[in-house]
Amino acid sequence: MDIVREYLPILIPIIILEVGLMIYSLRHVLKHDRYKFGSRTMWVLIVIFIQIIGPILYLTIGREDE
């Protein structure tokens, strides 16, 4: 239990960043119909299941320029 308390100040910002990126990316995926690569279903699954890397992938290579 002491290990968790020791790493908690590091884990909380990472978790907040992860959840924020996921929410922003999912809102963007569901709001728009066009993507550079893939389909809506593919991007939703990537954003949800590939934790921090999934939303970053979508925001950098997946979303279509507006």
The answer to whether 35 and 63 have CB atoms below 8 angstroms apart is yes
pLDDT digits (tens, 9 = 90+) for 11-46: 999 999 999 999 999 999 999 988 888 899 999 999
Give the Cα separation of 32 and 14 in Å (integer): 27
Taking the domains of the chain in order of start, what are their residue ranges? Answer: 2-62
pLDDT at 2 over 70: yes
The pLDDT value recorded for residue 30 is 94
List of residues 6+ apart from 43 with CB closer than 8 A: 25, 29, 35, 58, 62
